[in-house]
Structure 1
């Protein structure tokens, strides 16, 4: 591997022996011969890759890690990540979807709704409609679409104990409804909700709400494994 390869010496890193993360060589086996050449990501801070480094874990945000693993098997891969933190689903669709469509992806990842669900103003039907509009538009343009059930953020250290039950209820509603939407529309759904790491305070960045790069490694592993399943691996 080249000296600037972010996975150089991967087998010696803690991440390579973390049972929730990719084992050395696992991504190559799962993604060998994959067909995708244009990978687009739209969404909020989960998409953009906010997260603190963790010693022993690859310093790549999860979507960047997915891109790296895809490109290792398809050198012609082109990547576009439009994610911007703090956006609600309607804002993601209004500001990112058209550019993603112009890019012409054959694989697209959509992750939005978390900033809606964190608020008491959350309207599940409206958020569903925004997600469905983005997924459908990308599918009609010829892309395989990845949807995501994100960590239940109520476990993050920043939330006072008194509000955790209400936040959890909304986050779980978002997760269930996104999974149902994925089943209805035929997306490649990655369900991170309920993963043991979401309950671990050590999974979060110093801001107390965003996952750190161990969490990113876990979500990247779940996504690569879902792609591998889609490819019949």
Structure 2
């Protein structure tokens, strides 16, 4: 199915004609909102960069352009996609829809892989039924990016593995185009990460956009030239990074510490106790079993 053709459930009259917009909608959290890639006073991000490369060469003569809508916002959970972002996305009748979420779920004390699977399956299912080509991705775990000590990093990695396992399964279920963002060289190429070490830098966002462009092209979708290898805008200097951390980063940490920090300390204590008893592998097995049961419960 081409981005310019009807989706599996579209009638002939719904197909984009010459001059009609190619509608691209992005759902997700701060990664897709564009945090880390600031242009003027606003976030841009990988989805906006990709949108500029979606219109095939020669389509301009036909008057065809790309209509891009970014519904992602910082702190969004999978449940927020289904309840808040999905209705707005469906109203735009997208031909391409990006759904990247799950990192914030792992940072919550009430993490529930079953609920994550249900909400993500519902979101992807509704978008697929409206005929959209889907983009999904697995994400790196925040503990690794932040280089947290093992008692903190291990439980976060366990949760992120569970989320990514669900995303991989739902990618197959809904025939999405999947990017292994978790496998990109975030930790070996520091320039790909922003000052907070949780979000891509401008260079990192451009890398994600190029990889999605490559996958769409390989799948047979006619696109324009790929995004440039390097952002046109220079990266912010040290003073700008320090200013961001002082004015925004501190608030970000404080807002999440009320929920995240106590939960992380409890996880770290449980992890330390388990390692002393030689039973830390049991927690991995329990999470893997819960993930399998969550997927089996989808039918």
Q: How would you bin the TM-score normalised by the shorter chain?
A: 0.7 to 0.9
Q: Which runs of 5+ in 1 are unaligned?
A: 1-32
2:30 to 45, 50, 58: 45
After TM superposition, give the deviation of residue 34 of structure 1 in Å.
5.7
1:157 to 127, 146, 163: 146
1:147 aligns with 2:132: no
Q: Which runs of 5+ in 2 are unaligned?
A: 6-21, 223-299
Contact 2:97–2:135 (CA<8 Å) still a contact in 1? Answer: yes
1:171 aligns with 2:160: yes
Aligned to 2:126: 137
- The number of aligned residues is 197
**Greater RCO, CA 8 A, separation 6+:** 1
Q: TM-score, normalised by structure 2?
A: 0.60
Contact 1:113–1:174 (CA<8 Å) still a contact in 2? Answer: yes
Q: TM-score, normalised by structure 1?
A: 0.76
- RMSD of aligned C-alpha atoms? 2.4
Contact 1:192–1:222 (CA<8 Å) still a contact in 2? Answer: no
Q: Quick one: distance in 2 between partners of 1:210 and 1:137?
A: 28
Contact 2:191–2:204 (CA<8 Å) still a contact in 1? Answer: no
Of 33-42 and 100-109, deviating more is 33-42
Aligned to 1:3: none
After TM superposition, give the deviation of residue 90 of structure 1 in Å.
0.3
Deviations 1:80-126 (A, max 9, x none): 11111101110122111001100010111111111002334321121
Aligned to 1:69, the other structure's residue is in SS state coil
Aligned to 2:82: 93
Aligned to 1:111: 100
Distance 1:232 1:81, change over 3 A: closer
Distance 1:46 1:85, change over 3 A: same
After TM superposition, give the deviation of residue 159 of structure 1 in Å.
3.9
Q: Quick one: distance in 1 between partners of 2:221 and 2:85?
A: 31
Aligned to 2:146, the other structure's residue is in SS state coil
Contact 1:48–1:81 (CA<8 Å) still a contact in 2? Answer: yes
Distance 1:158 1:49, change over 3 A: farther
Distance 1:152 1:194, change over 3 A: farther
